[in-house]
Each structure stands twice: as structure tokens, then as C-alpha cells.
Structure 1
Amino acid sequence: MSRTTFSDRSSLHSLIRTARGQRRWDETIPPHFRPLLRAYLLAYVSVVAPKILSVLAIRLTGRRASKARQLDQDSPYRGAASTRRLLVDALRWQRFPAFCAALVGGSTLLEIPFRSIFGHLAKGLSGVARQRLSRWCASFVAAWLSIQLLQSKRSASFSEVAPATADSLGETKRQTVRYAGRTLDLSLFAATRALDVVVGELWSRREVRRRAAGKWTGFESAVSRLIDPAVFALSSGVIMWTWIYSPERLPHTYDKWIASAASVDSRLIEALRRCRQGLLRYGEETGQAPLLQGMCKDYNWPLEWGDPARTIPFPCEMVHMGCGPSCELHALSRFERSFRWAMRTYLPLSLLLILRNPNKKGGTTALVSAARSSAFLGTFITLFYYGVCLARTRLGPKLLGRDSKTSQRIDGGICVASGCFFCGWSIMIEQSRRRKDIALFVAPRALATLLPRRYSWDKQWRETFVFAFSTAMVFTCVLENKRRVRGVLGNILAAVLAP
């Protein structure tokens, strides 16, 4: 979501119209059922299209027979019937499209009876207040019921077989224990959006009052501009810290993507983890030398570099992984490699996005957009590595000292914390209108690292309540003031929920 943008002049409203813009494609559908149909079709395409493109990309661009055979063996959508199976699987009632249809359709249809109920029970409220309350309650009930479609789907990752026990008759029985947490990311996404709506509305009202009184300050303007970059910097720092020290708290696909982007030797990461755990201690023989000495052999470095009992700390050149001793040259090398890696992803996506509104400048726009996003990612990776080097070599020893205990502290967390602090501020390269989407995309993932990925099934109602309450706030707000729900999500919801 963070990589897709829509301008004010070309919102998703245009996607639900015909090519000439004269009639909407769903004009013949009864108004109350239009949001349901739009939500289902949009969710279905969002689920199916990336998978189809992934299968086609491997088959058409990775032309080697071995890759094709690997795809057929590894993919659940393999063989001649792969596309058909993919299309059918997305239609199941426990999948994301059915969830979106139940959520949006329920919130729209349930508003009718709730209006009638509050029309009789809340006559003391104004018409606007009754309408707002009806919308909130309808959205709350729809969200509560719809998320249970996703939660009801059984998953091997969220269940395990309990140890066998014997009953009163001596018969051995095994029970399967189910855990909650499959929808945690979705619930945190809704909670983050609801919090953004509330904070944004309160800050907007404050700004209006203070500007009217002539008390609006430059500091408050700076806060308005920097809040999204700060949220992204904090969130990405938390994620990178988790990736280094607790990768099991990240989804597997997220962990794998970061590892691919970082392009770092896993032995180096393991050495930093052991430093923090106290298994690898400078100036002491703890049997950890073989870990980094394996890197020394691969890169033709002196073996003593990898021995923490003899080399305190291990040279920063090992962090550079073959780029030489200069931290600055290593940073430039990292940017160049990361930029090229990112362009292979962002340029095709940018070219696909301009197809919705092709024009003469489309190619240039796509190239500039891809280059900017690639520079952002390249700078992110560069700042992380250079932040580590600053703490280990450039500034850390000068400020803190060079003895073995200080080196242990630096490699035991300070150097990683430095990289985590600096990397997120690369968001300033992106356009301001995209910063909010990226920040709100990353924030719930950072929150997820602070919570258990699996938890007791009997506590799932708490997550369900958070999702329903947050979704009701967002839906009610987008119908009252669509500009308050910022970014791409606001445009999508405004288009889907429109009569």
C-alpha cells in the first residue's frame, strides 16, 4: 500500500467509472449494495493480481528450466491449473475478499435498521448526531462479525497438538490447541489508522484556534511537517532492532525481504547477537572464535581478526564485507548496490501504474518516481550501515573509550541502536504526500513486534474489539470528512463507500 499513490485529481473515484467517465459501471446496482460489490471486487483483484504477476514473472523472465521446475514444485499454484486454482481459492468465504465484502456491505446495510432504532430511542439527539451514531454502531457490528471470518480459518502456524493424556478409562487422547493472532497485523493497522484520525482531528482543531488567535508558532509548524517522518523513523528503527536481535518476532516474509535488502553475511549478524547475549566477550576465551574466523577465511583476512580474545573489537572492515577499510567508501558502495537492487523492483511497478492514465510524460514520470523510491531505500540501507560504523569506529571509541568493556557495550547494542536511529530519516527523500502513507504502513508492523505473534484463543475477543472499535471510527470519519482519513486509504474508502 505504501508504494501506491493517487493524486487528488485522479482518485479511485475514476476507477469505478467507464472509460469516457459518463456512467459508473455499477449504476444499475441498487445503491445500498454498491459498496459491498466494490469492496469485494477491489479486494479480489488485490489478492489475485500480485500472485498471478509473480507466477508470470518467474515463468516469463526467469526462463531457465530449473526455475520453472522449482516453481512447479514449491508453489501451491503450480502446473497447468495454477491460475484457475488461484482464482477459485480467493473466492472462499474465509478469504480476504469475503471479509471486505462483509465489512463494507454490513456497515452500509446495517445503518438502515440502526437509524430506525436511534430514531425512536434517541430523539433528544440532533439528526446529525443520530446519523453519526447509527453509522458508528453499524460499522462496529459489521467489523466485529466480519473479522471472525478470517479468524475462523484454521492454520498450522496457530495450532499445535497438546501432549497425550490418559482419561479415566486409560485411553490416550490428543487434543489440538488453537491460538489466536492470525489477524493481529490487520487489527493493528486499523488501530493505527483510528489513532491517526483522532490525533489528526485534535491537532487540526488546535491549529485553527491558534491561527485565529495569532498564536501559531514556527515550532508547531515544524511538528506538523516532521510528525510523519518521526513516526516512520521510530517504527523502522524498532523493526530493524527486532530483525537483528529477535527475528522470530517478524513475519517470515518480512524477515526474508529485509535480509535480501540488507545483503549481509549471517555470521556477522550472529556475532552481534552473541555480543549482546554475552556469549562472545572481548578479551576472554569463550570458544566463539570459529564464527568470525570462517568469514576471515572466505575474505582472505588474518584469522586473528575473528578471535575476540585477541582482537578488540573486530575490525570495521569485517562489517564492510570486502569493500575495504573506509567506512565512507563502504557507505557509497552500499548506496550504489541498494539503488540498483531497488530499481529492479520499483521501475516495473511505476510503469504499471502509469497504464491507468497513459500520457506522453508517463515514461519520465515513472522513471523519476522509481528513482526517488530507490534512492529512499538505498539511503535507508546506507544510513543503517554508516550508523553502525559511526558507533564502532568514527565516533564511539572517541566518546566512550576503547577498552574491552566499552567495545563490548558498543558491539552489544550501541552500534545497532545507532544504525536504527539514523536509517529511518531517509524518508525525507520521499515526497511529503507519500511520507504519511509509508509511515502509517510501517507503524503497525513495528507495534506487532512488541506483542506476541500467538496468544491464547480465549483472549481473542480483545483483539476483535480493538479492530471493531477502530474500524468504526475510521468508517464514520471517512463518511463525515474523507480528508481526515489520510493518504491512499482515505481515497479508497471514499470511493468504495460512496453511494
Structure 2
Amino acid sequence: MPPSSPSKPTPPWKASFAAIIQNISDDPGHPLQIALRTFSLCLSLSLSPVLLRAIFALVLRPESFTTHVRGLWRALSRELRPTGFASAITTAVGGGAALQRLWNVLEHRHINSKLSLYQRTFLANALSSTFAIILLRWKRYRRPGTVSPTLDLSLLFFVRALDASVQLLLLRKGRERQVQAPLCNVVASRASSTPPDTRFLDKQSESLAKEWQNKVAMHLDTFIFWAGSARIMWCFLYQPQRLPPTFVKWINSLANIDKRLLEVLRALREGTWSYARGSRHNIVGSLAEELGRSSSWADPAVLPAYGGNFANDTWKQLGVEGRSGIGGMPCEIVHGGIGASFGLQNDCVANTAIRTVYVFARALALNLPVHFLPILLTKPSSIIRPHLALSTLLSAIRSATFLSTFISSCWFTVCFTRTLVLARLFPKISHDVWDGPYGGTLAGSLICGMSIWIEDARRRREVALYVLPRALRASIPEKWLRSRHSVAQFAECLTFIVSLASLLTFSVHHPESLRGLLRWTMAFVMKGPNAGVWKKKIVTCPPTPVEPSTPPLADHKD
């Protein structure tokens, strides 16, 4: 056999490159790994709605599948650009991690910046977030009168950063409240012979501090949702332009209000439609005719503005039943024909009950994937466990009950105000008040938010943090909301940068301040798939015991 040729030595550059790759693969906190996880997560979030629409179109409407596939391709090409959402957020998260690592290297080389580790982290994230907002706004010139393309994202980051700051303050306050308890235990133990277990006291004190924090946070979440939902519902009825169009469409699909009734509410607020002064246009007349009634049932020039005998004479002439002693538009028209197949179209209680069942069915179909999908993605084998499947199903039913109660309570409060009780108690008050912006609709907007108590504390938190950015957007003055003034744009950009930089800094130094899905998301991005719910339990088996070898017997002479 010919002698084998000696192997060629590995070039130095290959060895260095292999060492770098090995270092990256072994370090889940490496900036490149953080960037890859961030990009994949953001890309999936951006493409999921379009992908789901394409899948549903393939099953329900195959003829429109090609159109949805083209939309998916357009969304993919848009997100893969440097100015896409996934690329911009990856620049903020991965770029901040890279700058922190570079800064730490310089610090180790005795280039002292006299900044704390927390300050360096925030400044690095602020710089990378600045590049992110530049990418997101690049060549997205707004037409006059349109809303900023990054406003919703800025408000989302602002709310989450504000929540993290509040939770950190609550946790510190809770720890301060528990400082006296261990001291009292120490003093008491000195009188006895047994010394205190300081480790147990520390754990107990921390547990009590977190319990106090969660209790206060639960009440804050409830108040935030109540106030935010009231503002959102009022704007939905009177100023829908203040809300995102998709959000308005979603609320309308659940509330199921005829658009002509919404036009009447807005005309009442503007003063162009009035029971007392009449109106040139019978906006809801066509709706009354569609329901099989005379258009006079919805004509403000004919309908009584006040209760009493005059109203009873008018109802007798029009053939309206069930409104003796009160004025205003018959509730049969307001209900929009709900319950007509059962002959209950003028029954307010039946209208509320039917709408409750309708919204519950739609909300349950919406909540089942929301509750079961995370389990299928993280622990698919656990879904076959009966107790887990049952608890998840009950949680979905609970969320559907919350949504149905939210909508139905608003409807019932409106009927309670204008028909059932209040208008009957005060017949001399004009129905311009009862049906106006500070009458039944305002009462319904305030009451519906109380349904949040149906949800558990965890879901209450997520719903509150989902509602608050939209409520803030609805509270921004119209001139600022659609302004291209440099001050307004600078304020929004600054909010985006500071909020995102704060969130990234909290995720590194104070992860306990983050809550809910955000805490899981940041743990996954910063620490890799072995963090949070993805973390696998590593079972360490004890080493196999090895019997010690018998030492050789020394030769001994007889």
C-alpha cells in the first residue's frame, strides 16, 4: 500500500472562524443570536394575520386563495426590506445588545466611561432604538390629515414601559413594607433560645412583597380597563376616526349596530338632528321601513321629545306599543330587528339576552384558538391531559362571557336609561338628553367596563394593557393626532426611543418588572429558547457507582 499523504494543516483564518462560530452557538446571549430570534419572532407576528387569512380562504373561499397568496407575498417582500417592521425592531434589539457588548469590551480595556452598567445599557438601547424609528419612518411620508404610521407602535411601547416602571416601584414599595416584619421576628427570637432562620425570613418577605404588588396591580389593571374602555366606546359611537379602523370594525362586528343609528347619535351630538327642533333628513326612516314599520317611527319631526299625555297621543296615532308616558324613538327601531323572529323586537330584556348569546358564540370561536394555540406551540403533549384541556376550555368560556357581558351591559344600560326606568321617572327631560352624548350612551360606556371583573387577574392584566394604548390614542388632541408639525413628530419619536430603550433595559436588569406575554417574549429574545415556558427540565442522573477495585494483596511470607 502506498503511504498515506500527511493531512494539510488548517489555515489560521479557518480556525479563527470556526472558533467564532462555536462561541456564537454556545452563547444564547450573543448579539447575533438575539438578532436572529428577534427577526424570526417579528416576522412571524407580521405575517401571521395574512397567512391565517390565506388558510381560511383556501378552506372557505378557494376562489379568493390566489388573491390572499399575492397579499402574503407582498407582505413578505415588505417585511424583508431594511425598513420593514421585523428589520427595524431587530436593529433596536440586536443593535443594542451589540453596542452593550462592545462597551463592555472597552470597559475591560480600562477605557472608563464613568457610567454605571444600567446607564450604559440604556444608552446603547436608546441609540439602536433611534436607528429603528428612522427605518420605520423612512420614505413613509404622510399625506396631510393622516395619522403617523408609527403612532400605534409608539403608544404600545410607552404603555408597556410605563407598566414596567410602575411594577418595579410597587415591588420596591412592597419590599419596604416587609422590612419591619423580619426585624420583629429577630427581636422576638432574641427573647427565646432559637435563632431565626434568615433565609426563610427573606423568602417569606419577598413572597409577601410580591403578593402585595400583585394585589395593587390587579386593582390598577381594573381601573385602567374601566377608564380606557369607557373612552374607547364613547369614541366608537361619536368619533371613530380617533381609533384604528380595524379596531372600529372589530367592535362594530360584536356590537352589531346599524350605521344609520350611529349617524343619528353623531347628528344629535352636533345638533343637526333633534327631537325638539326636528331635522331636515329622516336618517333612520329607511331602517324603520326595512323593519316593516312606517318611516314616521324614526322621524324626529313626528316623534315626541318629552313624555306625558302628548307622547301617548302620538304613540296611539303611530300605532306604537309599550312606550306610554315616554318620548323618543321606539326601542324596536333601536334594537334593529333583533328578536323579530320570536315577536320580541320591542322587548329590551329579550334584545339584551339575544345579543348576549350572539356575542358569546362569536367570542368563544375567537378565544378558543387564543387559549389553546400557546399550549399547542409550547407543550403539545400536555393537551391530551383532561384537567389541562378542561381548565383551558373553562378559561376560554370565561373570556367569552366577559366579552358578551361587556356588549350586552352597554345595550341594556341604554335601554334602562331611555325606556325602562330613567326616562319614565323624569318624563319632562327631553330625549335629546337621554339619547344624546351624555345620556344613555355615556352611561352604557361607563357600565360596560365593569364586566372586566369576570376575567381572572392574569387575563385582566393583558386586556387592560391591550386597551390602554388605544384609549390614549383616542385622547390625543385631533390637531396633534394628524399634525405633521415638527414638534409633534419629535415628541412621538422621543416617546418611541425612550420607551423601547427602557423596555430593553428592564429586560436585562429588572426582568421581574415585566408582566404577561411581554415577559415571556423578552426572556425568549434575550436568553434563548431555554428560557420561560420553553425551558426544558434537565434531569441529571447520578453517576453509576463504581465498585472500588480490590488492592492487590501484598506478598507475605509464612
TM-score range, shorter chain: 0.7 to 0.9
- State which of 426, 434, 443 in structure 1 corresponds to 2:451: 426
- State which of 192, 200, 213 in structure 1 corresponds to 2:159: 192
Distance 2:244 2:29 in 1: 41
Distance 1:272 1:364 in 2: 43
Distance 2:259 2:298 in 1: 15
> Deviation at 1:436?
1.0
SS at match of 2:301: coil
Q: Is the 2:218–2:461 Cα contact (8 Å) retained in structure 1?
A: no
Q: Is the 2:154–2:492 Cα contact (8 Å) retained in structure 1?
A: yes
Aligned amino acid, residue 412 of structure 1:
G
1:305-320 aligned at under 5 Å gives the runs 305-311=297-303, 312-320=327-335
Q: Is the 1:179–1:457 Cα contact (8 Å) retained in structure 2?
A: no
Distance 2:362 2:455 in 1: 18
Structure number with larger C-alpha Rg: 2
The aligned residue for residue 466 of structure 1 is 495
The aligned residue for residue 395 of structure 2 is 369
Q: Is the 1:343–1:370 Cα contact (8 Å) retained in structure 2?
A: yes
The aligned residue for residue 102 of structure 1 is 91
Q: Is the 1:354–1:366 Cα contact (8 Å) retained in structure 2?
A: no
> Deviation at 1:318?
2.3
The aligned residue for residue 416 of structure 2 is 390
Listed one character per residue, the Cα deviations across residues 347-382 of structure 1 (whole Å, up to 9, x for unaligned) are 244443332212213643443333222212111111
1:408/1:395 CA distance change after superposition, 3 Å: same
1:297/1:56 CA distance change after superposition, 3 Å: same
- State which of 360, 364, 368 in structure 2 corresponds to 1:339: 360
1:94-173 aligned at under 5 Å gives the runs 94-115=83-104, 116=106, 120=111, 122-123=113-114, 130-154=116-140, 158-159=142-143
Q: Is the 2:170–2:213 Cα contact (8 Å) retained in structure 1?
A: no
> Deviation at 1:420?
0.9
Distance 1:349 1:222 in 2: 26
1:398/1:212 CA distance change after superposition, 3 Å: farther
SS at match of 2:272: coil
1:379/1:252 CA distance change after superposition, 3 Å: same
TM-score (norm 1): 0.80
Distance 1:243 1:26 in 2: 50
SS at match of 1:264: coil
The aligned residue for residue 417 of structure 1 is 442
- Alignment partner of 1:237 is 2:230: yes
Q: Is the 1:229–1:427 Cα contact (8 Å) retained in structure 2?
A: yes
> Deviation at 1:47?
1.3
Bigger shift: residues 316-325 or 241-250: 316-325
- State which of 235, 258, 272 in structure 1 corresponds to 2:251: 258
1:393/1:208 CA distance change after superposition, 3 Å: farther
Listed one character per residue, the Cα deviations across residues 129-177 of structure 1 (whole Å, up to 9, x for unaligned) are x11111010111111111111111426xx225xxxxxxxxxxxxxxxxx
Aligned amino acid, residue 441 of structure 1:
Y
The aligned residue for residue 321 of structure 1 is 336
- State which of 82, 85, 97 in structure 2 corresponds to 1:93: 82
Listed one character per residue, the Cα deviations across residues 77-122 of structure 1 (whole Å, up to 9, x for unaligned) are 43xxx65554333211111110121011111011134444797555
1:54/1:229 CA distance change after superposition, 3 Å: same
Distance 1:29 1:219 in 2: 34
> Deviation at 1:182?
0.8
1:234-313 aligned at under 5 Å gives the runs 234-288=227-281, 290-311=282-303, 312-313=327-328
The aligned residue for residue 49 of structure 1 is 48
Aligned amino acid, residue 504 of structure 2:
F
The aligned residue for residue 482 of structure 2 is 454
- Alignment partner of 1:487 is 2:516: yes
Distance 2:94 2:212 in 1: 44
1:83/1:450 CA distance change after superposition, 3 Å: closer
SS at match of 2:251: helix
The aligned residue for residue 462 of structure 2 is 437
Q: Is the 1:180–1:457 Cα contact (8 Å) retained in structure 2?
A: no
Aligned amino acid, residue 47 of structure 1:
S
Aligned amino acid, residue 157 of structure 2:
A
Query: For the aligned residues, what is the CA RMSD?
Result: 3.0
Distance 1:57 1:482 in 2: 38
Distance 2:351 2:73 in 1: 48
Q: Is the 2:289–2:295 Cα contact (8 Å) retained in structure 1?
A: yes
Q: Is the 1:293–1:307 Cα contact (8 Å) retained in structure 2?
A: yes
Listed one character per residue, the Cα deviations across residues 187-224 of structure 1 (whole Å, up to 9, x for unaligned) are 1111111211222222333333335458x9x9999754
1:220-235 aligned at under 5 Å gives the runs 223-235=216-228
> Deviation at 1:28?
7.2
Structure 1, unaligned runs of 5 or more: 1-24, 161-177
Distance 1:487 1:220 in 2: 15
Aligned amino acid, residue 318 of structure 1:
I
Listed one character per residue, the Cα deviations across residues 298-318 of structure 1 (whole Å, up to 9, x for unaligned) are 112344321223323112232
Aligned residues: 439
The aligned residue for residue 171 of structure 1 is none
Q: Is the 1:94–1:152 Cα contact (8 Å) retained in structure 2?
A: yes
The aligned residue for residue 4 of structure 1 is none
Distance 1:481 1:220 in 2: 15
Q: Is the 2:171–2:213 Cα contact (8 Å) retained in structure 1?
A: no
1:133/1:238 CA distance change after superposition, 3 Å: same
Aligned amino acid, residue 403 of structure 1:
K
The aligned residue for residue 191 of structure 2 is none
Distance 2:270 2:465 in 1: 33
Q: Is the 2:402–2:451 Cα contact (8 Å) retained in structure 1?
A: yes
1:243/1:203 CA distance change after superposition, 3 Å: same
Distance 2:518 2:368 in 1: 23
Q: Is the 2:29–2:526 Cα contact (8 Å) retained in structure 1?
A: no
The aligned residue for residue 7 of structure 1 is none
Identity of matched residues, %? 30
